[in-house]
Each structure stands twice: as C-alpha cells, then as structure tokens.
Chains A and B, each alone.
Chain A
Amino acid sequence: GAVVSQHPSWVICKSGTSVKIECRSLDFQATTMFWYRQFPKQSLMLMATSNEGSKATYEQGVEKDKFLINHASLTLSTLTVTSAHPEDSSFYICSAPGPGVNQPQHFGDGTRLSIL
C-alpha cells in the first residue's frame, strides 16, 4: 500500500540551528502534501499545504519565513525550521493523499524536534 516516509525521526539541536525534515511518498506521486504540528495530548494542527512546483499555502498564524517548505518533486516535500528556538520543539508530521478517489491521508511517522 501507499507509504509515506519521514526523516529524521528525532532531532536534538541547539537553539539557532536550522533543521530540515523530509517527507517522501515511496510508491506513489503526491502533487500535494501537508505538514502538521502536534503538541502532547493535542490533535494535529495543519501548518501548511505543500504544492509541487508552486508556493506552499500556509495556515493563519504560521510564519512562512520560519517554516520554509519546498516541494521540488512529485515524491518529496521538505520542511525547514529556520533558526529554531525551544518554543519550536514539537512533533512534526507530514501526510500525502493516496492515489485514487476517497483514499486516506497517508501519514509519515513524524519527527520529534527538541531544541535546547
């Protein structure tokens, strides 16, 4: 079945570092991918919609200069957290809609980001 791979699964880094997270659709093409943020015991919060070949669409309140999204191919979207600070520490998840009608979103396994 459709699989979405997310890498890395866990990042610990110093404040001020920029961190890149990759999201790949392994056996299907995804012109659209989604990036979420999840705090402990909270639901997923959509941050932005990544569109292949065009600019990402950001949700209200999400800083596009802080969270850079690049969807360079039909199977890869990247999220870069620039100059990360402790308040950026969270669980980041990507998803891509499966091919076909009424296919579910296929989620990556998430990236745990810890900024010291």
Chain B
Amino acid sequence: KNQVEQSPQSLIILEGKNCTLQCNYTVSPFSNLRWYKQDTGRGPVSLTIMTFSENTKSNGRYTATLDADTKQSSLHITASQLSDSASYICVVTSNSGYALNFGKGTSLLVTP
C-alpha cells in the first residue's frame, strides 16, 4: 500500500531559527515528490518538486532533499519567519499517472 509518513506532526520554533521536516514514503513506482505549504483556510501551494535523479533543490529559504534509495525526503527552512507558520504537506506521485499520495502534514508554528 502506498503510504507517505511525515514527522514531526507539529513543531514550534522561534523566529529566525532553522528547522527540518521529514517525509518517508513507500510509494512505488515513484515519479516525483513535492512539498506544499498550506496556510490555514487556503489551498496548498507548491514549494519544490523532486524527481528520481534529483538530490537537492532550493526555493529561497526552503531546501528539499531526496534520497530515492531510502525513500526519504526532508524540507529544511532557514531563518524562519512568522509567515512560515503553516502546514507543510509532502505529496508523492506514482508513475501510474495522476495518483497523488498525501502525507498528513507537519504543522509549523513560528513564534516571535
């Protein structure tokens, strides 16, 4: 069964600090992995996309890594800002088409 597990479930950090979110998956065959940011009451917005051959990809203060061998991904947020408070969702797509497998998300709260 295709699964996407995220950790931690929730995280509280001080403004300016760094943090790393984890995503482990069992989806097969693998097509790509995306990290989305979902603000409360809004739809998810794509942050990064990782394909099988990519190890690291950055988008501003967000850096995603992918280890396709161990089926693990991480999202590192540098110098956090209050506006980073949101739910971060890991979504893994299989080669079978549009089949999206959603993680339950990590709820991040950045405090002053």
Interface residues of chain A, those whose CB is within 8 Å of chain B, are: 4, 6, 32, 34, 41-46, 49, 91, 93, 95, 97, 102, 104-110, 112
The dominant DSSP class at the A interface is strand
As a 0/1 sequence over residues 89 to 100 of chain B, the CB contacts with chain A under 8 angstroms (1 = contact) are 101000000101
Nearest CB of A to B91, in Å: 8
Number of interface residues of B (CB under 8 A): 20
Q: Is the CB of A41 within 8 A of B107?
A: yes
Evaluate whether A102 and B51 lie within 8 angstroms (CB atoms) in the complex, with A34-B98, A41-B107 already known: yes
Interface residues of chain B, those whose CB is within 8 Å of chain A, are: 32, 34, 36, 41-46, 49, 51, 89, 91, 98, 100, 102-105, 107
Nearest CB of B to A97, in Å: 6
Return the contact of B42 from the options A41, A46, A104, A109 (Cβ within 8 A): A109
